[in-house]
Every structure is written in C-alpha cells, then in structure tokens.
Chain A
Amino acid sequence: MRQMTKRYGVWVGASLLLVILPQLFGSGFAITMMSEMCIAIIFALSYNMLLGQGGMLSFGHAVFYGFGGFMAIHTVKLVNDGAFVFPLELIPLIGGIAGLVLAIPLGYISTKKAGTTFALISLGLVELVVACVLLFPSFFGGEEGVSANRVLDWSITGARFGKGIEVFYLIAFWLVVSTALMYLLTQTPLGRMANAVRDNPERAPFVGYDIHLVRFFQFTLSGFFAGIAGGLLAINYEIVNSEMIGAIASGNVLLMAFIGGVGFFFGPILGAILFTFLHLTLVNITQGGQIYLGALFIVIILWAPTGIAGIIMAHKSLWLAGKFKRLVPTYLMALGAGLVAFFGALIMVEINYHLSLSIEPDSPMQLFGVEFQANSWPPWVIAIVLLGVGYFMLRPVIKKINFKWGQLTQEMQKMEKGEIA
C-alpha cells in the first residue's frame, strides 16, 4: 500500500491540483496564465526528451510546436466550415500527428550526428521554416497568421469550449496524459537507450542498438508531444502566427528546460511554470522582462548547470538526514547579499530603459513608489553602491557555503559508512 501511494501519489495529487486550482483562482488572468503554463510544461517536457534524455541540443524545437499549431487551427477551420465533423477534444492529437509526420524527414536528416552538428542543423531548419512562412502565405497566413473559432457543433463531452475554464480543463487533461506518456517513455528500453546514446555514443552500439535509430525515434516522439502542445495553444488563443514557429519560441523552450534542470524529469515542469509566470507578470511591470530572464539563464549556466531541479535534488539527502537547517543561516545571508546586488542592477536596468525607451526621458520615473529624475546622478550612485556592496558581501558568503557543503558531505559519508558497518 505504501509503495502504491509513493508511486501514484504524485500523479493523483497533481491531477487533483489541476482540478482545484481554477476553482481557487478564477480570474481571467489566472486562467490564461495557468493554461499557458500547462501548455509550456508539455512543450518543455517534449524538449527535454531531446536535450535531457537524448543529449541533442536543438535550437529549432518550435518548428514542430508551430507546425502542430498550424495544422490544428486549419482543422478547426475546416470543421467550422462544415468539411467534416470532428470533436475539439481530439484536435491536439491532430497537432501531435502533424508534429510527428514533420519530425520523420527532419529527424532522419538531423539525428545522424549529435552534438554541434545536430545543433547547427536544427538552427538551419528553423531558419528554413521561418523563411517559408513568407513564401507560403495560404498555409501560414503571412504576417497576421491564421485564426479560427474553436466553438464546434459537436464535442465528445458536450462542452462548448466558449469559456476559458472549459479550455483549461481540456488542456489539463492533455497535460496529464502527455506527461504520463512521456514519463512512461523514460522507463521503456527506448528511453533507457536514449540515455545510453547520450552518455556514450561510442559504446552504445556494442549493446546492439543503432544509435541513429534511437535518436530518430526519440526525436520523432518528441515532435509528437511538441505538436500536441502546439495544438493546445491554437485552441487556447484561436490564432496561430509565425511567432510560434520561429527562433524565439525555440529559444524560450530551451530556457525553460534549462532553468528548470534538464537532468531530472520534473525539471522542465518547474522551469516552464517559473518561466511562464515571470514572462507574463514581468511584461506588466517592466520593459526589461527579457533581460532578467536572460540573466537568470546565464547565472544558472555559470553556477548551477543542473538547474532548479538539480539544486533541489542536491539538498534532498541533507533534508532527509535533518542536516538542512544548518545551511539555512548561510543561505539567508547569501539571499540578503544577492538581493542587495540585484537591487543595484535592477535600478540601473530600469533607469536605462526609462532613458532609452520611454517617450519622455526627462519626465520623472517611478520605482517601488519612489519618484525620481532618471538623468540625475543620485540614483546612479545608489545603484552602483548597492551593486558593489552586494558583490563584496556575497563573496565571503559563497566561500562559507562551499565550506559548509564540504563539511556536511563529509559527515554524510561518515554516516553512510557507519550504517554499513
């Protein structure tokens, strides 16, 4: 029984959460954000099938996402025009199949090599598709994109999908199904071999597998799930345009997966939630949303390449051994110092955005309720002082953290040895 709860508890809990959340946060903005988060989770997990599980760094994953979206919206349009009858609930499947079909030729070409060659081909393919958007206006709809009305005559569940909350439940259903399938896939021989091919492409063939084929299957299946996410986005917004298929969407999913942590299955889920949250809220607060996300990405690459999931998992054993609380004071110090430095950087960024992008740079600007002149010197001095103080406070704290980590790891090792003895 305990094993059962351990195994399925997370899944049941997450599903329940998805049912309850829209009842707790019912506002239009919250529903939009949660829908977008769920779609982003599917997309980021499908991306991680390449980068995390298969060791293939792709810069063009949005091609399948976007293509799935376009095919889905065209299908909705056709159904609305009365060409045939099809329920909206299964439209994401059309997107998925479109992604899968497109991934077959593209995957065959690009998965012969991993590493840099793969990354370059993916980059070339995304540019190729972006160039095609303008050449094939009747499919891609040119600059303004393709739109359709998602309210169809017949649906399996009887829902009309006019309201955002109905669409959210549809997205949540597909999220649970896709996540479960992608998780199960990691447990199959294909999923295991993908890891083997990622870690050692020279030795993997000796077990008797064709590495090109393993990568190819992983790639096409990943295209399938990306297509499902694209189909869901098409339903959610009832419009698909070239932005969805291009390099920016591909870059965003890379950021999501990496910030979350590509080494663990749940990493991209965290990344997608955090990224979407920041993306949607920062837009309303500041012009510099992208710069903060980019800075977060760089910080993660430089100092925490395992991502948020990696940081969490590194503390798991300490937490279980009850030693985590000894790290808390130093972490709080680091947080304080980091915040000081961050505020310094933030003031500088905001001042510059005000000076370069606002209509009247000479008018006073507001930051945290304080009004000041952006082109006067006091805010600059404050920003530089904060940045400097934060930096010099952070340095000894980081040394202290490293020292404590070393201590704790040693203690843990001793404990393990003691248990064995």
Chain B
Amino acid sequence: MEFYVISLLNSLVFGMLLFMLSSGLTLIFGMMGVLNFAHASFYMLGAYFGYQISTFIGFWPALVIAPLLVGVLGAGVERYGLRTVHKHGHVAELLFTFGLAFMIEELVLLIWGRVALNYQVPASMDFTIFTLFESDFPFYRLFMLGISVIMFVALYLLLTKTRTGIIIQAALTHPEGVGMLGHNVPRVFMLVFGGGSALAGMAGVIGGNYLVTSPSMAILLGPIVFVVIVVGGMGSLTGALIASLLISALQTFAVGYDYSLVDLLALFNIELGPDPWFSDLWRIKIENTGPLLPYVLMVVMLIFRPKGIMGERES
C-alpha cells in the first residue's frame, strides 16, 4: 500500500513536469507542423538561467524572469531561424532545430562547464510537508505540482476562453483561413513558439533543482518528451496530459518490481539451467526496464495507432 501511494504521488509530480514540457511542444507541432528538437534544450536553458538568476537575486524573481528570457529566445529562434528555413520544407526545419539543440548544448558547456550545477531547492521550501507511512514527502514536490497544475489551468483558460486563444486554435487547423480574416498568422506562430519555449523554461526552473542541472539534461529528457506527444497525439493538449501521466507512472512503478522472466517461469515450475541461451534476456528485471518502456510504448503506438491517444490526424 505504501509503495502504491508514494509511487502514485511521485509519478504525478514527474508527470505534470513532463506535461509542462510537452504542452508547448505539442502546440508548436500542431500549429506549425514543426517538430522542435530544441524544445528540451529550452528546458535546459530554463534551468541554467534559473540557477544563475537565483544566485543573483533569489529564486522567486528567477521563477518569473528565466521563463520570460527563454520565451524571448524562443521567439527569436522562430523569427530569425525557422522562418528562414521554412521555404525549404519540414525536413529543413527539423534539421535546423536539431542543429540548434546541438549548439545550445555546446553553448551551455561553454558557459557553465561540464559538471552538474549546484542548483538547490530554495531553503524556504526545503521542508517536509507530511509523512506518509514513515516516508517524508517534501514540500517542494507539492510546490512543483501546484505550479504545473496552475499552468495547465491557465493554458486551458487561455486557449478556450480568450480571443487570442481562439485565434490560436483556429490557426492550428486553418492557418490560411485565419490569415484571410486579417490576423497576422506568422506573429501568432512566433508567439506560440515563444510561449511554448517559456513553458519549457518554466519546467526547467522548477525541475532543474529537483532533478539535476547538467549539460546532459536536454538529451536525457528530450526523447521522452517526444514519446509523450506521439503517444498523446500530436497537437492535442489533453492527449499530452494523459500521456505524460501514463509514461511517468510506467517509469515510476517499474522501479518497484524486481521480477524477471526466471521468476515467471518459476511460477510454472520451469527451471533454467545454470547457463541458458540468451542468459541476459531471462535475467532482466522489470525495475531495470524503466528507461526502455516509454520507447516500447511509442513504437507500439506508432504501429497500431499512429494518431496517438487523442490525436485527430496523422502527421
């Protein structure tokens, strides 16, 4: 019981963090058809900016300024980079963001060095909020959960209740039509790209000190974010939410089981010899498959339902 409750809470925290990252990416993809490889790099930049600003003026200003900075950078990338390569088609756009991710990682290495930063949870939030079955639950995780839920609600209201949101939604499916109505669609694109990057930056600020802030953080999380938007359905916010929670739960719960195929066979009274064929395969424990599961899920999803859980169209 203890394991389930704690794992559920932890997977909720990580899942919402994943959602903050993937919501921006899925919006950008749905609207512009651009799969932004550099999205996780903006997350990394958010963490590094957050660290730098919080050493100067504290965590709270960093929570506001760092995402804004990342958002401005993102908008700049769209305006001066993506728009230039747009005429060469989607492959060129994809390649551009790939190169950008590469460059951002190198620039981070260049400025902050190779080692992980000492980016700590602010002391004012570093305490235990409650104790469940003898396990302490840190307040900071609750704070992360709170921020990501607020962001989700705000994003949802923005997209469904405001005029800007309705234009964005319309531009998702009918960019030409929206342009005909006199809206500046390229500017909407730029804003969405900037906004999505800012969300990723925000995830970096609150996730960097909870996880690790190092130059490899983009590479570690980037592919998982792709899995989320593929599984959830590209362009769908609700799908991204479901997929984020699902993948986070898969990874968190897998850690708790140390069964392997040997144990499964033992249930049926089959015993393998001391040195069987494919000895590695039989001995793999479920707890070690955590990093593998999201990709298995993604490949299976792409084969059987390429639209994803909530997607309406194939790419």
Contact residues in A for B85 (Cβ distance below 8 Å): 301-302, 305
Do residues B112 and A356 form an inter-chain contact, with CB atoms below 8 A? yes
Residues of A within 8 A of B149 (CB): none
Complex Cα–Cα for A251 and B103 (A):
13
Residue-wise, chain A 331-373 has the 8 Å CB interface mask toward B (1 for contact) of: 0000000000000000001001100110000000000000000
B96 touches A301 (CB 8 A): yes
Partner of A356, one of B35, B109, B227: B109
Question: Of the candidates A109, A120, A349, which one forms a contact with B226 in the assembled complex, judged by CB atoms under 8 Å apart?
Answer: A120
Is A349 a contact partner of B110 (Cβ separation < 8 A)? yes
Closest partner residue, chain A, to B102 (CB atom): A294
B85-121 contacts to A, CB under 8 A, are 85, 88, 90-92, 94-96, 98-100, 102-103, 106-107, 109-114
- A121 surroundings in chain B (CB, below 8 A): 299, 302
On chain A, the residues within 8 Å of B279 by CB distance are 138
User: In the assembled complex, which residues on chain B have CB atoms less than 8 Å from the CB atom of A51?
Assistant: 91
| Residues A258 and B95 in contact, CB atoms below 8 Å apart | yes
Chain B residues near A139: list those with CB within 8 A.
280
Interface residue tally of chain A, by bracket?
A: 35 or more
Contact partners of B288 in chain A: CB under 8 A:
134-135
CB pair A251–B106 under 8 Å, yes or no, is no
Q: Which residues of B are found within 8 Å of A59, using beta-carbon distances?
A: 98
Contact yes or no, A125 B95, CB < 8 A: no
A385 at the interface (CB under 8 A from B): no
Residue of B33, B284, B292 with most chain A CB atoms under a 10 A cut-off: B292
Q: Could you tell me if B35 and A290 are in contact, using CB atoms closer than 8 angstroms? A: no
Q: Are A251 and B291 CB-contacts (below 8 A) given A301-B85, A305-B85?
A: no
Distance, CA A137 to CA B85, complexed state (A): 43
Residue pair A247, B219 in contact (C-beta under 8 Å): yes
Contact in complex: A109, B113 (CB < 8 Å): no
The answer to whether A131 touches B291 (Cβ under 8 A) is yes
| Nearest-Cβ distance from residue A341 to partner chain B, whole angstroms | 16
Instruction: Determine the distance from Cα of A356 to Cα of B48 in the docked complex, in whole angstroms.
Output: 14
A291 at the interface (CB under 8 A from B): yes
Query: Is there an interface contact between B306 and A302, defined as CB atoms closer than 8 Å?
Result: no
B135, CB-defined interface residue at 8 Å? no
Interface 1/0s, chain B 60-91, versus A by CB < 8 A? 00000000000000000000010011001011
Query: Given known contacts A57-B91, A131-B295, A132-B292, is B98 in contact with A254 (CB within 8 Å)?
Result: yes
* Chain B proximity of A295: nearest CB distance (Å): 7
Q: Cβ of B315 < 8 Å from any Cβ of A?
A: yes
Q: Which of A6-14, A37-45, A110-118 contacts B (4 or more CB under 8 A)?
A: A110-118
Please name the residue on chain A nearest to B80 by beta carbon.
A302
With A119-B94, A123-B226, A136-B280 as contacts: A357 and B302 at CB distance below 8 Å: no
- From the candidates B102, B111, B302, name the one contacting A124 in the complex (CB within 8 A): B302
B249 / chain A contacts, CB cutoff of 8 Å: none
Interface membership of B230, Cβ < 8 A: yes
**Contact of B299 with A125 in the complex, beta carbons under 8 Å:** yes
Evaluate contact between A127 and B223: CB separation under 8 angstroms.
yes
Indicate if the CB atoms of A124 and B299 lie closer than 8 Å: yes
State whether A115 touches B280 (Cβ < 8 A).
no
Write the chain A residue with the least CB distance to B298. A124
Known: A128-B292, A136-B281, A301-B99. A356 touches B110 (CB 8 A): yes
Kindly state whether residue A164 has any CB partner on chain B within 8 Å: no
Q: A128-B299, A291-B107, A302-B81 are in contact. Are A116 and B35 (CB under 8 A)?
A: yes
Enumerate B281-303 residues with CB–CB distance to A below 8 Å.
281, 284, 288-289, 291-292, 295-296, 298-299, 302-303
B314 within 8 A of A: yes
Point out the residues of chain B lying under 8 angstroms from A135, CB to CB: 280, 284, 288-289, 292
Name the interface residues of A282-297: CB closer than 8 Å to any CB of B: 288, 290-291, 294-295, 297
Cβ A120 vs Cβ B35 within 8 A: yes
With A127-B223, A302-B81, A302-B85 as contacts: A117 and B314 at CB distance below 8 Å = yes
With a cutoff of 8 Å between Cβ atoms, the chain A residues found around residue B109 in the complex are 356-357
> In the complex, are the beta carbons of B295 and A128 less than 8 A apart?
yes
CB of A381 within 8 Å of the partner chain: no
Residues in B with CB closer than 8 Å to A251 are 98, 102
Cβ of A298 within 8 Å of any chain B Cβ, yes or no, is yes
A119 to B109, CA, bound (A): 27
How far is it, in angstroms, between the C-alpha of A131 and the C-alpha of B109 when the chains are bound? 25
Interchain CB contact (< 8 A) of B84 among A124, A294, A302: A302
Question: Given the known A-B contacts A290-B102, A290-B106, A353-B110, are A116 and B94 also in contact in the complex, defined by CB atoms under 8 Å?
Answer: yes
Whether A305 touches B315, Cβ cut-off 8 Å, given contacts A128-B299, A136-B281, A258-B95, is no
Q: Do B90 and A116 touch (CB < 8 A)? A: yes
Q: Mark B27-62, 1 if CB is under 8 A from A, else 0.
A: 000000101000000000000000000000000000
Whether the Cβ atoms of B302 and A288 lie closer than 8 Å is: no
B95 contacts A301, C-beta separation under 8 Å: yes
In the bound complex, CA of A137 to CA of B281 (Å): 10
Residues of B within 8 A of A302 (CB): 81, 84-85, 96
Which residue of B has the minimal Cβ distance to A140?
B280
Binary contact readout A62-94 vs B (1 if CB under 8 angstroms, 0 otherwise): 000000000000000000000000000000000
Q: Judge whether A124 and B96 touch: CB under 8 Å.
A: no
Q: Which residues of A contact B111 (CB under 8 A)?
A: 352, 356
Residue of B nearest to A106 (CB): B299
- B35, A119: Cβ atoms closer than 8 Å: yes
Q: In the bound complex, do residue B102 and residue A117 qualify as a contact, i.e. CB atoms below 8 Å apart?
A: no
How far apart sit A349 and B227, CA to CA, in the bound complex (Å)? 34
| Closest Cβ neighbor of B92 among chain A residues | A305
Shortest beta-carbon distance from A211 to chain B in Å: 15
Across the interface, B110 reaches (CB within 8 A) one of A127, A138, A291, namely A291
| 10 smallest beta-carbon distances between A and B, as pairs | A291-B106, A131-B292, A356-B113, A116-B315, A128-B295, A294-B102, A136-B280, A124-B298, A298-B99, A294-B103
New A-B contacts (11) at CB < 8 Å, excluding given A124-B298, A305-B88, A357-B114: A113-B314, A117-B306, A117-B315, A119-B94, A131-B295, A136-B281, A258-B95, A294-B99, A302-B85, A352-B110, A356-B111
Interface residues in chain B, defined as those with a beta carbon under 8 Å from any beta carbon in chain A:
33, 35, 81, 84-85, 88, 90-92, 94-96, 98-100, 102-103, 106-107, 109-114, 219, 223, 226-227, 230, 279-281, 284, 288-289, 291-292, 295-296, 298-299, 302-303, 306, 314-315
22 interchain pairs (CB within 8 A)?
A115-B315, A116-B33, A119-B35, A120-B226, A124-B223, A128-B299, A132-B292, A135-B289, A254-B95, A258-B95, A288-B110, A291-B103, A291-B110, A297-B99, A297-B102, A298-B100, A301-B85, A301-B96, A301-B99, A305-B85, A356-B112, A356-B113
